[in-house]
Amino acid sequence: MKRINISISESALKELDNLSSQLNLTRSKFIIKLIELYKSNLEKKKKEEERKKKIIEAIKIQDKLSSISCNWDGVSEIRKWREFKK
């Protein structure tokens, strides 16, 4: 494991010590946990952004198909086929 030195304000150090003691962790282990949590949150945010982009693209495709279909009502069509199967 590598050792590093950082500069931190007194108030931030007090907060670090307070939080790490509440969790019964050393400063180092607490900082490592914070890094892991931050990385996890970044990955979740990235996945959410990718999901939003895919949704937007799907909406664009659906809108394009809708404009081509001349007001075709898919819901009515599905209902008609459901009734046909009965």
Domain limits, the chain: 10-85
Quick one: residue 71, left, alpha or beta (phi over 0 = left, psi -120 to 50 = alpha)? left
The per-residue pLDDT string of the chain (86 residues; one tens digit each, 9 = 90 and over) reads 899 999 999 999 999 999 999 999 999 999 999 999 999 999 999 999 999 999 999 999 988 887 887 777 888 888 888 887 66
Strands (E), the chain: none
pLDDT for position 44: 98
pLDDT for position 8: 96
Token pair 């495709």 is at which residue?
A: 61
Q: How many residues does the chain have?
A: 86
pLDDT for position 76: 85
Q: Beta-carbon neighbour count of residue 29 at 10 Å?
A: 12
Query: Residue 45: what residue type?
Result: K
